[in-house]
Amino acid sequence: MTNAAEFRTCPITGKKVFKTTQNLMWINAVTAVVFILIGGIMALLVALTRWPAVHLLPADLFYRFLTAHGLNMLIFWIVFFEIAGLYFGSSVLLNVRLATPKLAWLAYLLMLVGAVMVDIMVFTGRADVMFTSYVPLMAHPLYYLGIILFAVGALIGCGIFFATWAIARAEKTYEGSVPLVTFGLTAAAIIAVFTLSAGAIIYIPTFLWSLGIIKNLDAAMYRLIFWGLGHSSQQINVTAMVSIWYLLGALTVGAKPVNEKICRTAFVLYILFINLASEHHLLTDPTLSSAHKIANTSYFMYLAVLASMIHALAIPMALEVAQRKNGYTKGLFEWFTKAPWGQPGFPALIFSLFIFGFIGGITGVAYGTEQLAIKSHNTWAMTGHFHGTVVGGTTLAFMGLTYYVIPLIFRRELIGKKLATIQPYIFGIGIVLMSLGMGAAGTLGSPRRHWDVTFAVSIIPFSFDPTVILFTTVAAIGAMLAVTGGAIYVLVSVLSVFFGRKMAANEAKII
Amino acid sequence: MPITSPEKYWWKPADKQEKIWITLSLIWCLILFAMMPLWHIYGKQNPSAEPLKIRPADFMKVSNVFIEKYKVGEESGIAIVEPPAGVDVYLRGQMWNWVPILKLKKGVSYKFHISSTDLMHGFSLQPMNMNFQIVPGHDNILNFTPTEAGTFHIICNEFCGINHHTMVGKIIVM
Amino acid sequence: MKKEEDRISGWQIFYDDLSLLFLLGMVIPAVIYLLWGVMEYANAPTAVIAP
């Protein structure tokens, strides 16, 4: 065991990096990359099947791999990475040892065992239930148990984050207020506690139902509570991603928040209101009243939208101010054109910001109204929306950050810097094409989670407007590009973490 | 820096540009905020607003009664039903059909009851692309008035098992 | 010294203190989204079909 008090001082930021924190961040981040690899292979196979010209997999494998794709990407990859991020935001940024490292290892083990259980159930065909596992579609009990174990592990991770925060405050390892990035991650952790609690409320009875102990579960009520987990978990991503935008701004051009009050207020609005967005899934559901639908999606949710609008100003503003200080003062846009485009972090930040805002965010707000939900509910446009937010936005930001975490925290020099630099471009352009293709096909009615949009084997003959096939092909080509970008990411990060040159203790080089 | 603690007093007034942007955003949010109920009240296409639970076995029963009473033919083994004006229409989502095929009249208003007797289904009317979640145990009550004649299809856009992609229904408007 | 402390805005203290934010972050969605929704489903009428 490493000594809990053992630390080194980062030569660039002057932060204390404790050995235990470093090890726990390492294991969580490396595990995250393993799951993005599994999810990525599934993405390739699913995209090649939806591409009508290829139509690779048979129907049963398509639905099985689609289930695996959703779980490995949306839950396992992202949450493992976020746990690493929470340990960074508390222990490293606050200069304090991590609270209860042993419990942190337990949390990791619970998450790992849960994730492996879920994957075994899915790949052996005992849980062909999609990411949502809507009742009364039933999976093997071990599938639900796996999700519960994973959620409990992640909940312990959040608890360790708060405990570390408390130690730092008690021992006064920081002065005044916590750094903005830590504040943003705190918002993410608070949202996570609500999310994971909703998960527990719904998955425990569902587990008992799969064992036959509970006889009836209301399918609509399942949807309500499930989306308290399913959508809110994406709000954790949004909040963590925005925190990482601020971090990437600092790492790439030395950006600092222009007004702390404004930035923090935006995060507070997220804490208070963003979780109500779960309602977006229920807008075309029976039984639930219009008052509930309107109150949750409009009256309160728009305050969270306002928060995103604030970040949409604050981040580019911070970048511009920093770049002007760096000497790029010519005209309106020299600060932007002369930005470090040849460093992976900057294009990752900008692509993430634009794709999240203009593709993911705008579609999200639009589809979140009752009448437009009728036009888009369960169509492929939804898939386009959340690939804009969670893939083009969150995943790309996490990828960009990885290229800095490897040298700064894991002290290894990157292998394949050139590849790392073009990676955000390939991935970003791929996701843009894919999301827009999905959005366009979905607007024409193309459904999500569908093996064959040509309806070659339906009993009652039906076919879409041929433009649907065109847009489906555009989406598939985008997906191929994105998968290539994802593969480069996995390659660079795995090679660097395991075989990169070990950096000397005082070496102050980032990229 | 966002990775270091801010200065001691950071609760400071915003800049002019920030204030302009936030004010504009807030106004935009307030417009959306007002539009949501306005659309609901004055718009003509809204999701179901009548709460009703119905046991799957009961829904099976009432929809079968409906089918037997107004059946006019059969296609691919699925009943074709022509309900007179003023009669409640029952449409059943089941693995992997929409039952029955409906013959409706243009300009007549119908009260639809859509539910499922097994899993979740997604009612997706094409080519106008109108979508509703169909939940077993709950009656999705919708008022439809066909405004044009022709043949329309209902596909399923919620995963409902291995043959989900073959689930297609039909509405003929005369 | 005392005076300087007084100048820290109440908002700043509220933002720095985790507990109230945490509480509100749990209670608001739990009441407006979850509880309200569960109540509606639980209290919705069930269709009575003659046998």
CB distance A479 to A43 below 8 Å: yes
Distance of alpha carbon B8 from alpha carbon B5, whole angstroms: 8
Antiparallel, parallel or unpaired: β B78-81 and B71-75: antiparallel
Position C1 scores a pLDDT of: 44
Cβ neighbours, 10 Å, residue C41: 22
Written as six digits, the tokens of B41 are 């009240």
Position A2 scores a pLDDT of: 53
Q: At A178, phi and psi to the nearest 5?
A: -70, 155
How many interchain CB pairs under 8 A, A with B?
A: 261
Q: What is the pLDDT of residues B52-85, one digit of tens each?
A: 999 999 999 999 999 999 999 999 899 999 999 9
Give the distance from residue B23's alpha carbon to the nearest chain C alpha carbon, in angstroms.
20
Angle at which helix A232-253 crosses helix A78-87, to 10 degrees, equals 50
Position A51 scores a pLDDT of: 95
Query: Would you mind telling me the total number of residues written for chain A in this entry?
Result: 511
Q: What angle do CA B101, B107, B112 make, to 5 degrees?
A: 45
Written as six digits, the tokens of B66 are 């409906």
Q: Which residue from B minimizes the CA distance to C13?
A: B11
Q: What is the DSSP letter of A452?
A: -
A157: in domain: no
Q: Do B52 and C7 touch (CB under 8 A)?
A: no
Q: Do C34 and A224 touch (CB under 8 A)?
A: yes
Give the distance from residue C37's alpha carbon to the nearest chain A alpha carbon, in angstroms.
7
Cα torsion C9, C13, C16, C21: sign: negative
* A219 close contact with B: CB closer than 8 A: yes
Give this prediction's pTM: 0.95
Q: Do C47 and B54 touch (CB under 8 A)?
A: yes
Position A1 scores a pLDDT of: 46
Distance of alpha carbon A356 from alpha carbon A305, whole angstroms: 13
Question: Which residue, among A350, A389, A351, has the nearest Cα to A367 in the 3D structure?
Answer: A389
Burial A10-30 (b: 16+ CB within 10 A, else e): eeebebbbbbbbbbbbbbbbb
Q: How far is the CA of A352 from the CAs of A92, A336, A347, A494, B76, in angstroms?
A: 24, 16, 8, 22, 49
Distance of alpha carbon A86 from alpha carbon A161, whole angstroms: 6
Q: What is the pLDDT of residues C20-51, one digit of tens each?
A: 999 999 999 999 999 999 999 999 999 988 77
Mean pLDDT, residues A38-53: 96
Cβ under 8 Å to C: A residues 419-478: none
Q: What angle do CA B14, A276, A443 make, to 5 degrees?
A: 100
Distance of alpha carbon A39 from alpha carbon A340, whole angstroms: 31
Antiparallel, parallel or unpaired: β B168-173 and B89-94: unpaired
Contacts of C40 in chain B (CB under 8 A): 51
Q: Which residue from A minimizes the CA distance to B117?
A: A136
Position B122 scores a pLDDT of: 97
* A264 close contact with C: CB closer than 8 A: yes
Mean pLDDT, residues A292-314: 88
Distance of alpha carbon C8 from alpha carbon C4, whole angstroms: 7
Helices then strands, counting H and E runs in chain A, come out as: 19, 2
Q: Determine the longest span between alpha carbons in chain C, in angstroms.
A: 81
**Mean pLDDT of the residues in chain A:** 94
Distance of alpha carbon A73 from alpha carbon B26, whole angstroms: 34
CB distance A427 to A275 below 8 Å: no
Written as six digits, the tokens of A271 are 């804490």
Q: Do C40 and A278 touch (CB under 8 A)?
A: no
A80: in domain: no
Q: Do C16 and A186 touch (CB under 8 A)?
A: no
CATH class belonging to B56-173: mainly beta
What residues form DSSP beta bridges with B75? B78
A436: in domain: yes
DSSP string computed for B100-161:
SEEEE-TT--EEEEEEESSS-EEEEEETTTEEEEE-TTB-EEEEE---S-EEEEEEE-S--S
Look at the block and give the residue holding tokens 């296609």: B75
A419: in domain: yes
Position C2 scores a pLDDT of: 47
Q: At A57, phi and psi to the nearest 5?
A: -90, 155
Q: How far is the CA of A369 from the CAs of A172, A294, A304, A363, A447, in angstroms?
A: 46, 8, 15, 11, 19
Cβ under 8 Å to C: A residues 271-310: 271-273, 275-276, 278-279, 282, 287-289, 292, 295-296, 300
* A297 close contact with B: CB closer than 8 A: yes
The domain of A453 spans 366-511
Q: What is the pLDDT of residues A309-334, one digit of tens each?
A: 999 999 999 999 999 999 999 999 99
Mean pLDDT, residues A99-115: 97
Q: Which residue from C minimizes the CA distance to B139?
A: C47
- The confidence band for A58, taking pLDDT boundaries of 50, 70 and 90, is very high
Where do the H-state alpha helices sit in A295-395? 301-325, 334-337, 345-354, 362-367, 370-376, 380-386
- Three-state secondary structure call for residue A235: helix
Q: What angle do CA A426, A430, A432 make, to 5 degrees?
A: 120
Distance of alpha carbon B96 from alpha carbon B155, whole angstroms: 10
Q: Do B136 and A181 touch (CB under 8 A)?
A: no
- The confidence band for A303, taking pLDDT boundaries of 50, 70 and 90, is confident
Query: Using alpha carbons only, how large is chain A's radius of gyration in Å?
Result: 22
Q: Which of A135, A292, A297 to mutate to test the interface with C (most CBs of C within 10 A)?
A: A292
Contacts of A183 in chain C (CB under 8 A): 15
User: Looking at beta carbons, which pairs linking B62-71 to residues 24 or more positions away fall under 8 Å?
Assistant: B62/B90, B62/B113, B62/C49, B63/B90, B63/B91, B63/B92, B63/B99, B63/B113, B66/B90, B67/B99, B67/B100, B71/B100
* C8 close contact with B: CB closer than 8 A: yes
Q: What is the pLDDT of residues A138-164, one digit of tens each?
A: 999 999 999 999 999 999 999 999 999
Enumerate the domain spans of chain B.
Answer: 56-173
Give the distance from residue B72's alpha carbon to the nearest chain A alpha carbon, in angstroms.
18
Distance of alpha carbon A162 from alpha carbon A169, whole angstroms: 11
Q: What is the pLDDT of residues B15-43, one digit of tens each?
A: 899 999 999 999 999 998 888 889 889 98
A470: in domain: yes
Measured in whole angstroms, the distance separating CA A53 from the mean position of its chain's CA atoms is 30
Cβ under 8 Å to A: C residues 28-47: 28-30, 32-34, 36-38, 40-42, 44
CB distance A308 to A263 below 8 Å: no
Q: Which of B5, B50, B53 to mutate to test the interface with C (most CBs of C within 10 A)?
A: B53
- The confidence band for A507, taking pLDDT boundaries of 50, 70 and 90, is confident
Q: How far is the CA of A283 from the CAs of A156, A317, A322, B69, in angstroms?
A: 33, 36, 43, 33
Q: What is the pLDDT of residues A61-93, one digit of tens each?
A: 999 999 999 999 999 999 999 999 999 999 999
Q: At B150, phi and psi to the nearest 5?
A: 145, -175
Q: Which of A174, A290, A447 sits opposite B122 (nearest CB)?
A: A447
A19: in domain: no
Written as six digits, the tokens of A503 are 């950096």
Collect all residues with Cβ–Cβ distance below 8 Å to B63 and sequence separation of at least 6.
B90, B91, B92, B99, B113
Where do the H-state alpha helices sit in A3-100? 19-50, 59-70, 78-87
Look at the block and give the residue holding tokens 């997604």: B122
Q: What is the pLDDT of residues A345-380, one digit of tens each?
A: 999 999 999 999 999 999 999 999 999 999 999 999
**In terms of C-beta density within 10 A (0-12 exposed, 13-18 middle, 19 or more buried), how is residue B31 classed?**
exposed
Q: What is the pLDDT of residues A415-432, one digit of tens each?
A: 999 999 999 999 999 999
Q: Which of C7, C12, C45 sits opposite B53 (nearest CB)?
A: C45
* A261 close contact with C: CB closer than 8 A: yes
Has residue C3 got a pLDDT over 90? no
Collect all residues with Cβ–Cβ distance below 8 Å to B49 and sequence separation of at least 6.
A289, A290
Q: What angle do CA B72, B76, B77 make, to 5 degrees?
A: 65
- The confidence band for A3, taking pLDDT boundaries of 50, 70 and 90, is low
Q: Which of C26, C33, C38 sits opposite A278 (nearest CB)?
A: C33
Q: Do B11 and C45 touch (CB under 8 A)?
A: no
Give the distance from residue B69's alpha carbon to the nearest chain A alpha carbon, in angstroms.
23
Q: What is the pLDDT of residues A187-229, one digit of tens each?
A: 999 999 999 999 989 999 999 999 999 999 999 999 999 999 9
Written as six digits, the tokens of A310 are 């604030």
Split into its structural domains, chain A has a count of 1
The amino acid occupying position A500 is G
Q: Do C25 and A271 touch (CB under 8 A)?
A: yes
Distance of alpha carbon A76 from alpha carbon B169, whole angstroms: 37
Contacts of B30 in chain A (CB under 8 A): 302
Q: Which residue from B minimizes the CA distance to C11?
A: B11
* B11 close contact with C: CB closer than 8 A: yes
Distance of alpha carbon B100 from alpha carbon B93, whole angstroms: 9
CB distance A399 to A424 below 8 Å: yes
Distance of alpha carbon A302 from alpha carbon A289, whole angstroms: 19
CB distance A271 to A194 below 8 Å: no
* Assembly ipTM: 0.94
CB distance C40 to A287 below 8 Å: yes
A499: in domain: yes
Give the distance from residue B7's alpha carbon to the nearest chain C alpha carbon, in angstroms.
11
